[in-house]
Structure 1
Amino acid sequence: MWLNASCLLEFQIPVPSPFLLKLRPRSGRNQWIAREEYILSPSAPVNEFTDMFGNLCQRLVAPAGNFSVRTSVYVETADSSDTAPNAPFIEVQQLPDDTLPFLYPSRYCESDRFTEMAASLVRGYSSGYDQCTAIVEYVRNTIEYTPGAGQQIISATELNQLSAGVCRDMAHLGIACCRALSIPSRMVVGYLEGLVPMDLHAWFEVYVGNRWYTLDPTQADMNGGRIAIAYGRDAADVAIFSQFGNPVELLNMKVTVEQMSGPNY
């Protein structure tokens, strides 16, 4: 399917402020970027680089006053995410080198604290994908999904105590449990067609059966086109914007995702 996704960020900035943005999706195995727009108002010089996870990052200094970032992208993607019951666990010594950073505990995914819990959740399940789906079911059934309520990032350990969180927090818990089983797990932020309420969305991917598979504790099924914008170990790596120095005010954020017949060249 073809999707047109857009994101608008509007800020009030007291003094010129450095920003790091991650708002440009890349073409890959699961998505093809046909066209995109990226508009800064007022315009500012931008330096783009690729971070250690392959994300396209934009550095700039936003001028004082009203400042906006508007992005739009036309993407060809699948109308649902692949599933793979019985996809096998890959032993650590057989894993590709680029999956290894997603085995370690990270700031918001303290996998070293979930060894016993993860083992109990997957008892009786085949090693690999089936264990991951058991963890997703646990997160979905025990954590209340409260979209729009999470301004402060919380870790997997904190969420397990609070029992309510946003998509980002639920992904943290799923990732931590999967990593506790030595299954590489990474966080993804992007767009999801049909998400209610519409916003940028977070989910996670696991590496089993020699490839990455999408998992999402907030959704009852894997239907809907997805556009991945950024990948990382946890929310600290996939923030769509990071601002440094004197605090700025985010006045408005608007996200849209529409199914299209194809890009209008």
Structure 2
Amino acid sequence: MVSIGKRDNMWLHASCKLEFEIPVATPFILMLRPRSGSQQWVAREQYVLSPSVSAIEFTDQFGNLCQRLVAPAGPFSVQTAFDIEVADSSDVAPGAPFVPVEQLPDQTLPFLFPSRYCESDRFSQMAAALVEGVNPGYDQCVKIVEYIQNSLTYAPGEGQELISATEVNQKSQAVCRDMAHLGIACCRALSIPARMVVGYLESLQPMDLHAWFEAYVDGRWYTFDPTQTTLAGGRVAIAYGRDAADVAIYTQFGDPVEILNMEVRVEQISEPVE
């Protein structure tokens, strides 16, 4: 068992089912498996492809578990389910200090640069103005989250088109992914490494896959979620990346494929299901 720290933990049973109608044999890359680590421990897992096809698993540059396969023509579904132990609250650290760039670990450096949906080079002046007079580090990230919450209304299910942080900043409402992009861009503009996380949130309503971001201060990653008024626990991380381009739960190649249905369930359990 991997220790998750001094916090209380909870057990969750989570599942995701994707159903497609495949016109011709189509290559896919899936990103649906959580990995165990310091913040979560996978006790039991099920992964079913229907019809059954061979798949190859690999680990991408961010450590995400990815599955590569060719889906046959006709109905095709992917169903995953797992029991996982996670923290029942997210760590907070008011006053945690900024880490100078020259002291950052090498693995955090990719999360400092502008990326496709997080054009941090366009937010330097705005981010500096937002955090004026605020201690560098964690407190600056909190200020950025407050700005996003005061500027945007969280509207789950409303944003199907991927847009960048610059475009998000011109709107009045946004989905979780868009709000995370804006937070990441502003943090990076202040030389704070920030990365996107996609996964599950036990208390989310309506239930769906969820996105938030993490920022690196005081030698570790901390969770920030502009969609939530409090930093709820019960989070399951599936994928990490620079922005949404890196954390798609599925990517298909070739002619467009219609997804017929996506069903996500998360429930708290007392212990792993036998």
Fold-level similarity (TM above 0.5): yes
Name the TM-score class by shorter chain: over 0.9
Pairing partner for 1:55 from 60, 64, 68: 64
For the pair 1:237 / 2:246, whether they are aligned, the reply is yes
The residue aligned with 1:117 is: 126
- Cα drift, residue 107 of structure 1: 0.1
- Over the aligned positions, Cα root-mean-square deviation in angstroms equals 0.6
Q: Which runs of 5+ in 2 are unaligned?
A: 1-9
- Hey, what's the Cα distance between the residues in 2 that align with 1:67 and 1:163? 37
TM-score normalised over the length of structure 1: 0.99
Pairing partner for 2:50 from 41, 54, 59: 41
Question: SS at 1:151's partner residue?
Answer: coil
Q: Where do residues 1-265 of structure 1 align in structure 2 (5 Å cutoff)?
A: 1-265=10-274
Deviations 1:102-126 (A, max 9, x none): 0000000000000000000001111
TM-score normalised over the length of structure 2: 0.96
Deviations 1:204-250 (A, max 9, x none): 00000100000000000012300000000000000000011011110
Moved over 2 A (4+): none
- Cα drift, residue 162 of structure 1: 1.7
- Cα drift, residue 164 of structure 1: 1.6
- Cα drift, residue 53 of structure 1: 0.1
Question: SS at 2:195's partner residue?
Answer: strand
Q: Which runs of 5+ in 1 are unaligned?
A: none
* Number of equivalent positions: 265
- Hey, what's the Cα distance between the residues in 2 that align with 1:65 and 1:223? 40
Q: Which one-letter code corresponds to 1:74 in the other structure? A: D
Deviations 1:97-156 (A, max 9, x none): 000000000000000000000000001111000000000010011011110011111100
- Hey, what's the Cα distance between the residues in 2 that align with 1:132 and 1:147? 23
Q: Which one-letter code corresponds to 1:233 in the other structure? A: R
- Hey, what's the Cα distance between the residues in 1 that align with 2:174 and 2:164? 10
CA contact (8 A) 2:123 2:189 kept: yes
Deviations 1:152-175 (A, max 9, x none): 111000000123210000000000
Question: SS at 1:100's partner residue?
Answer: helix
Question: SS at 1:161's partner residue?
Answer: coil
